[in-house]
Amino acid sequence: MTSLLQVDNLVKNFGGLTAVSDVSLHLNNNELVALIGPNGAGKTTLFNLLTGVIPATSGSIVLKGTNGTFALNDKKAYQIAKLGLSRTFQNIRLFKNLSVIDNVLIAMTSRYKEGFLSSIFRLPNYYKTEQRVTEDAKKLLALFELEDQTDVLAKNLPYGTQRRLEIVRALATKPQILFLDEPAAGMNPEETANLTQLILKVQHRFHITILLIEHDMSLVMNLAERIYVLDHGSLLAEGNPDEIKSNPKVIKAYLGEGE
């Protein structure tokens, strides 16, 4: 079986510091994988490498998606996003001063065309396109119970809703793989439970692969089909939740770090 995303020997050095060293991993189609590890293990750096926010020092990232096979190493973040890798951020990065629907519409930008002239002179084509994409955006928002807040500015949403909107925004790019960076951070148990349902819904309804970083172990153990454990920049273990729970190296890494 060929995996959707194949990462081999990925390395990232910051000056003399090796943040990610020789990491190899793969993601299969429609799989829900978790990436865990103590603070400072390099999880977010790994996300940044995979989504092109920062360039890797060496190694290869290959996407075998529905549109063909692409090496992602030398691609810029926006190109990677267009190829179907989308993400959320640890510290929410919504377009704060824009409305909920604009946040979603912006993420849809590369999915549709709207000629410069037809938008400037408001040709019929412009209205048709606008209507179509706005409806698409509204449908997507409705799936996540945000349809009543389309005109609210993102910064005025409650914290949990902002996290939800960030996931919706990421989905609006029509990704094949969704990276969630600590989606449950700062949430109470009830919100976390809702989030668990939401992530499952995303996985099944959109048939996409999800890789999530999370510190909330109950959420990880409930959700993940497979888990990668990262420590000091390198992979410590891989396996299903039960294997990881009983892996002595993992237990040592966590207890040793005092988490």
Partner 1 sequence: MKANFKYNIIWLIIMISGFYLMNTLILIGVINAFIENMLVTIGINIILATGLNLIIGFAGQFSLGHAGFMAIGAYATAIITQTATTPAGFYLSIVIGIVVSILVALIVGIPTLRLRGDYLAIATMGAAEIIRIIINNMKITGGAAGIFNIPQLASWPTVYTMVCVTTIIIVNFIHSRGGRAVTSVREDEIAAEAMGINVFKWKLAAFTLGAATAAVAGSLHASFLQTISPNDFGIMESISILIIVVLGGVGSITGTFVAAAVLGVLDTVLQDFGALRMVIYAAALILIMIFKPSGLLGTWELSIKRCFKRFGRKERVKQ
Partner 2 sequence: MQTIFQQIINGLSLGSIYALLALGYTMVYGIIKLINFAHGDIYMLGAFWGYYVINVWHFNFISALLSAMVVGAVSGVIIEYFAYRPLRHSPRIAALITAIGVSFLLENGMSYLFSSNTRDFPQIIKQVNYNIGGVLISNIQVLILVTACILMILLQVIIKKTKMGRAMRAVSVDPDAAELVGININWTISFTFALGSALAGAAGVLIGLYYNSIDPLMGMTPGIKAFVAAVLGGIGSVPGASVGGFLIGILETFFQSIGLSAYKDAVVYFVLIVILLIMPAGIFGKNAKEKV
Given partner 1, partner 2, none, residue 77, with its beta carbon under 5 to 8 Å by kind, binds partner 1
- Contact pattern for partner 2 over residues 83 through 112, marking x by CB under 8 A: ------xx----------------------
Given partner 2, partner 1, none, residue 215, with its beta carbon under 5 to 8 Å by kind, binds none
Number of residues that bind partner 2 (CB under 8 A): 6
Q: Residue 227 gets which letter from DSSP?
A: E
Q: Which of 33, 48, 86, 165 binds partner 2 (CB under 8 A)?
A: 48
Sign of CA dihedral 249, 253, 256, 259: negative
Given partner 2, partner 1, none, residue 112, with its beta carbon under 5 to 8 Å by kind, binds partner 1
Q: Which residue in the block uniquely carries the two structure tokens 């390395």?
A: 11
In the complex, the smallest distance separating the C-beta of residue 98 from partner 1, rounded to whole angstroms, is 6
How far is residue 84's CA from residue 9's CA, in Å, rounded to a whole number? 22
Cβ atoms within 10 Å of 26's Cβ, excluding its own: 18
**Contacting partner 2 within 5-44 (CB under 8 A):** 44
Phi then psi for residue 55, to 5 deg, are -80, 145
In the complex, the smallest distance separating the C-beta of residue 182 from partner 2, rounded to whole angstroms, is 13
Nearer residue to partner 1 within complex by CB, 51 or 203: 51
Given partner 2, partner 1, none, residue 44, with its beta carbon under 5 to 8 Å by kind, binds partner 2
Tell me the C-alpha to C-alpha distance, in Å, between residue 91 and each of 25, 27, 170, 201, 256.
Answer: 25, 24, 15, 23, 27
Contact 35, 84 (CB under 8 A): no
221 belongs to the binding site for partner 2 (CB under 8 A): no
Q: Which of 21, 28, 53, 109 binds partner 2 (CB under 8 A)?
A: 53
The upper half-sphere exposure of residue 194, i.e. CA atoms within 13 Å in the direction of its Cβ, equals: 10
Given partner 1, partner 2, none, residue 94, with its beta carbon under 5 to 8 Å by kind, binds partner 1
Q: Residue 99 gets which letter from DSSP?
A: B
